[in-house]
Amino acid sequence: MRRPANQEPPLSAGALVGLGLRVQHYDALSSHGLRADFAEAISENFMGRGGRAFSVLERVRSDMPVALHGVSLSIGGMDPLPDTYLSQLAELATRITAFSVSDHLCFGTFGGHYAHDLWPLPYTEEALEHVVARVQRVQDRLGRQLLLENVSSYVEYRASTLSEWEFLSEVVTRADAGILLDLNNVFVSAQNHGFLPAEYLAALPRERVRQFHLAGHSDAGSYLFDDHGSPVSAPVFRLYEQALERFGPLPTIVEWDERLPELPVLEAEADRARALSNARQAAFREREP
Amino acid sequence: MKLAELQRYFASAATSGSGPLPELERVFFGSKQLSAQARLAIYNRAYFYRLLDALASVFGHTKRLLGELEFERLGLAYLSRHPSEHPAVERIGRAFPEYLRVTGAPPLIVDLASLEWARLCALVAPNPASIASVHAIQPSQFPEARLRFVPSLHWLELDPRVLSAFAGEQLDSSAVAALQPACRVAIWRSQHVVMQQAVADCEWQAFSHAASGATLSQVCSVFDSGSAAEDVQRAFRVLSGWFARNWLEKVEHGQALAI
């Protein structure tokens, strides 16, 4: 079964920059809501459970669209795709009419266990076929397109025969999936492996890129670490501008997980991204007759 | 190497608690700034410390009682033997109380960890389909009615000092090692807040009967002391307390079960 590429409900016009829901902000979210265009919820934090988390999600959903973003699907893993997981994800996506469902292009399961990390795949033909088949199964099960996010990585396999961007492009094209392009991850991996971020962006199929992620990273000296624990860096914002230029002003999430500040700090960070996105949108409008 | 073999190799390197695997440099690229071994070590460190953080977020009071270093030592040993079996990282501690028990931790600490795990289970339990009202019981159907409890309700037998330790009271080391007779504690979620309360033996027995499918007349037999007026009052107090605390999802009517 193939799905149309734009099956999910569209965002309202001008709705472009959102924030992730984090448990440390539940009090503020419950009382004041979220000042953003849309919100992103980590799927596993809400699947098959009730209580306050779900109440906060429903409160936010009553104000704005919600995107679901998973961390444990392990789309490249060798363990079977877990049936309960997919059922609960499908149920959650339906219940909150999620405007998108995404996860990471990586593996995170081993021998029936969860790593709770985003481990890189070898970029080989075998891995490509394996991932494409699994993405198609997930999309069939969810009845909608899956967006795949590029991950930050610290190591590369000698067995790889494709670049990361070639692999990502092939997966989404063959599986009819979308790309959630994390610009911080592109920047971090580029520094750690010595490629040009611009080359990565230029190689991606423009029509497949559907959302952006922005986040902070830390400098560990001999490598950059994707810790989501600081403001978006200036080079990543510059890369975001390049991405806006190439792919257009797409829905963007600002992520922050470690050393999480108060909600207004995140909202201000989202404002910075919104200003860039709006500027790019205005430039596009000027170019059009 | 095939994909499955590469993934097994990576997972072994990332989750090994005993140093690097052989031939890392033949499987992964290294560079002048960072060897393949150093690159895999980033994943190894991230794996253990992310899970240790998740463990600490659930077992905060246990960590306080054990101390930072001992919690880290026990936590890392636990994680190397009990990898996660659930897509939500917070569930990593499912077997931690039992691990503490079999590794010889003082019973008070094992019980405190059990309480913290039960509180997490109550916190994340699915919402009940409904909350039963006492008015759901028709007097004529009372004897044969059965009770279905909300998913968040858990019961534990614990050292009574666990409740003090959970409340932040300091216990000296000799007190931690000493054994105490167990008390029964109910843990549940009400209005998004996890509650806990010690309960009397007769209430524990009544709950055990009710949870195993007994009818209300069978449940009330627990309160039979030979003084009808007192028995009725005690049964009423306990049962109305269950309704008041929103422990009951549904009152069902049907055939009695043999118990």
Q: Which residue of B has its CA nearest to A110?
A: B11
pLDDT tens digits along A101-152: 999 999 999 999 999 999 999 999 999 999 999 999 999 999 999 999 999 9
How far, in Å, CA of A65 to CA of A18, rounded?
9
SS3 B196: strand
Residue B60 CB coordination number (10 Å): 13
CA atoms within 13 A on the CB side of B217: 12
Residues in chain A within 8 Å Cβ distance of B126: 48-50
Query: Which tokens go with A42?
Result: 């980590």
Q: Which residue of A has its CA nearest to B10?
A: A119
- CA of B54 to nearest chain A CA: how many angstroms apart? 10
- CA of B231 to nearest chain A CA: how many angstroms apart? 36
Contact B195, B189 (CB under 8 A): yes
In this structure, which amino acid lies at residue B87?
P
In this structure, which amino acid lies at residue A92?
L
Residues in chain B within 8 Å Cβ distance of A49: 88, 124-126
How far, in Å, CA of B41 to CA of B31, rounded?
14
Q: Write the CB contacts of B225 (distance below 8 Å, at least 6 apart in sequence).
A: B231, B234
Q: Which of A44, A78, A119 sits opposite B4 (nearest CB)?
A: A78
Please report the sign of the dihedral spanned by the C-alpha atoms of residue A176, residue A177, residue A182, residue A187. negative
pLDDT, residue B136, reads 76
pLDDT, residue A4, reads 40
Please report the sign of the dihedral spanned by the C-alpha atoms of residue A94, residue A97, residue A102, residue A103. negative
Residue B127 CB coordination number (10 Å): 16
- CA of B37 to nearest chain A CA: how many angstroms apart? 9
Interface membership of A123 toward B (CB under 8 Å):
no
Interface membership of A158 toward B (CB under 8 Å):
yes
**Nearest C-alpha neighbor of A146 from the set A75, A221, A213:** A75
How far, in Å, CA of B128 to CA of B125, rounded?
9
Contact B40, B11 (CB under 8 A): no
Interface membership of A222 toward B (CB under 8 Å):
yes
Contact A166, A130 (CB under 8 A): no
ipTM of the complex: 0.93
Q: What is the DSSP string of A184-238?
A: HHHHHHHHHHT--HHHHHHHS-GGGEEEEEE---EE-SSSEE----SPPPHHHHH
How far, in Å, CA of A127 to CA of A267, rounded?
39
Interface membership of A124 toward B (CB under 8 Å):
yes
Residues in chain A within 8 Å Cβ distance of B34: 154, 192, 222-223
Q: Which of B15, B34, B86 sits opposite A222 (nearest CB)?
A: B34
Contact A180, A148 (CB under 8 A): yes
Q: pLDDT digit of tens for each residue in chain A (289 aa)? A: 334 433 444 455 554 899 999 999 999 998 888 999 999 999 999 998 899 999 999 999 999 999 999 999 999 999 999 999 999 999 999 999 999 999 999 999 999 999 999 999 999 999 999 999 999 999 999 999 999 999 999 999 999 999 999 999 999 999 999 999 999 999 999 999 999 999 999 999 999 999 999 999 999 999 999 999 999 999 999 999 999 999 999 999 999 999 999 999 999 999 999 999 999 888 877 877 6
* Cα separations in angstroms, A66 against A39, A48, B66: 5, 17, 41
Q: Which residue of B has its CA nearest to A30?
A: B192
Query: Which tokens go with A274?
Result: 């919104």
What DSSP element (H or E) covers B21?
Answer: none
pTM score of the predicted model: 0.92
pLDDT tens digits along B10-33: 999 999 877 777 889 999 999 988
How far, in Å, CA of B22 to CA of B42, rounded?
17
If phi > 0 it is left, if psi is from -120 to 50 it is alpha, else beta; for residue A31 that is: alpha
Interface membership of A33 toward B (CB under 8 Å):
no
Query: Which tokens go with A261?
Result: 């500040």
Interface membership of A84 toward B (CB under 8 Å):
no
Q: In this complex, how many residue pairs, one in chain A and one in chain B, have their CB atoms less than 8 Å apart?
A: 120
Pairing of strands A209-214, A178-182: parallel
CB contact under 8 A, A119 and B43: yes
Residue A72 CB coordination number (10 Å): 26
CB contact under 8 A, B88 and A45: yes
CA A158 to chain centre: 27
DSSP character at residue B183 = E
CB contact under 8 A, A77 and B7: yes
SS3 B154: strand
Residues in chain B with pLDDT values less than 70: 172-179, 254-259
* Cα separations in angstroms, A235 against A8, A84, A269, B172: 32, 41, 15, 53
Residues in chain B within 8 Å Cβ distance of A50: 124-128, 151
Residues in chain A within 8 Å Cβ distance of B92: 116
Paired residues of A6 in beta bridges? none
How far, in Å, CA of B42 to CA of A153, rounded?
10
Query: Hey, of A22, A46, A126, A155, which one would you mutate to test binding to chain B, going by the most B CBs within 10 A of its CB?
Result: A155
CB contact under 8 A, B6 and A122: yes
pLDDT, residue A1, reads 39
Length of chain A: 289
